[in-house]
A and B are shown apart, each in its own frame.
Chain A
Amino acid sequence: MIEVLQTGPLNTVQDLGRFGFRNAGVTSSGAMDRLALTVGNLLVGNGEGEAALEVQTFPFRLRVNRDTTVAITGADCDARLDGGRLPPWWAVAVSAGQVLELDTPQRSARAYLSFAGGIDVAPVMGSRSTSLRGGFGGLDGRFLAVNDRLGIGGAGAYAMPPGGFGAMPPEAALADHFPASEDGTLLVRAVPAGEYALFGGEAERFWSQTWKISSQSDRTGYRLSGEPIKLASPVELRSHGVVPGVVQMPPSGEPIVQMSDANTAGGYPKIAGVIDIDLWRLGQARIGSRLRFVRSSVAEALAVERAVEAYLEDIRRTVPMLVQAIAVMSRR
């Protein structure tokens, strides 16, 4: 059992998402940074799809009421366990009664708390993710509040080494596969989408200009601010299916990037689609930060996906070996 002692709004239970029901208008939901959630679960010996807490408003504080293991991944929130500082991307054993605190991160937007055995809430349509718009999943379909109590699955799969251990953050381990700009602007790779050609010569500015993530951004979508891009001539479109990553261009000419709680259908022209493997980076982008779209290809997207899968497989394989080695050495 864990008990929420302090929280802002919009912190929710999330797993990797709810799939197979878009035809019924059910959004996929799921973690905004799926990679951080996956790594967190691997560090505590969980299946990678177990439910965790997605924390995006701070400070956040909880007490554990049983011995367990927790991993903190995603944004570096200067986590502290009973006042002792923990590094980011870290897993550690926690004892009943200990208090874990997260502060507002200096960079990135969302932290994930994965507990051994996962957050024990009832699955809805195959997922424990909270759908805030639908009001179901997670903890009663709502965001966390002070005094909430959540069950956790069970004891850790591993005996944690003293002080715990961590994973190399993907930004460092996969630096060769994710472009970085010199001025800190987030580079997000995308491919042209169905209505790209309708923007004519205007479309070029979609790639060349720097966009700002506006305050009207949330888990449903990011509204970007910049010099508007207009259709060459007005068109009427039928509503079509929408998935996370789709970049729509409403009449205002400022793009909307659909995120984890993406609408299931929409009628705005689609200028581009963010490649799936870059969505976690967008999920960590903060309101007010700047980004630029980089034209990519399916081949590049697949190559990056393979690199990320190799990184995860490396963690999957190495965690049990490391824990076993430490246990042997501690007996010497």
Chain B
Amino acid sequence: MIKGPKRKSGSIAEQVLDPVILGKIALWLDEAGVNSIEIETKDGRLVRIVAGAGVSTDNTDSNPDLSVSPAMPVKAPIAGHFLPVHPARDRAEATIGAAVIPEQIIGFVKIGPLVMPVRVEESGRLEGCCIEPEALVGYGDTVFLIEP
């Protein structure tokens, strides 16, 4: 899946559920050769629109080729290098698809000789990891996505 650029907006979470707007977004995605887009709202929610994945909203009749799924971002607590696995361990703290709970540590950001936790804020299912191991992340960058 190719991800489009993230865009910030105000009440866009509600707007994108409008069948007319969904249709426009589908057209833009098609023209750009992109099959999904994530839109981050002011309250920190992510709206992911995936072309051709079926419809999961109430607007099935008018938009048969789009699904809109809200995903909660788990963000980097500080700038540094992302570590999906603690350097003293062999396995990640949580695997994709696993249920996660608030305050659970599911990754790390290395800053010099120290390690900061990447923590879950809301319960859900760990949907994916957006950052490559050891890659540099900025403060507030989305590191994981959680399906509520």
Contact = CB atoms under 8 A, between A and B. Distances in A.
Contacts of A86: 105
27 contacts: A86-B105, A87-B86, A87-B115, A87-B117, A88-B86, A88-B89, A161-B116, A163-B77, A165-B117, A166-B86, A166-B114, A167-B113, A167-B115, A168-B87, A168-B113, A169-B88, A173-B87, A173-B113, A314-B112, A314-B113, A315-B114, A318-B111, A318-B112, A319-B114, A322-B114, A326-B78, A329-B139
Interface in B53-91: 77-78, 86-89
* Overall SS of chain A's interface: mixed
Interface of A: 76, 84-89, 161-169, 171-173, 311, 314-315, 318-319, 322, 325-326, 329
Contacts of B78: 322, 325-326, 329
B112 A172 contact: no
Given A76-B88, A169-B87, A172-B88, A322 B116 contact: yes
Contacts of B116: 161, 165, 322, 326
Contacts of A84: 103-104
Contacts of A165: 114-117
B117 A85 contact: no
A176 to B, nearest CB: 14
Nearest to A108: B88
Contact of B105 (A87, A169, A329): A87
A315 B110 CA distance: 12
A284 B5 CA distance: 48
Contact of A168 (B103, B104, B114): B114
B35 to A, nearest CB: 35
B113 A163 contact: no
Nearest to A325: B78
Contacts of A76: 88-89
A314 B88 CA distance: 19
A87 B106 CA distance: 10
A325 B80 CA distance: 13
Given A84-B104, A166-B115, 18 more contacts: A76-B88, A76-B89, A87-B108, A87-B117, A88-B86, A161-B116, A164-B117, A165-B114, A166-B117, A167-B113, A168-B114, A168-B115, A173-B87, A314-B112, A315-B114, A322-B78, A322-B116, A329-B139
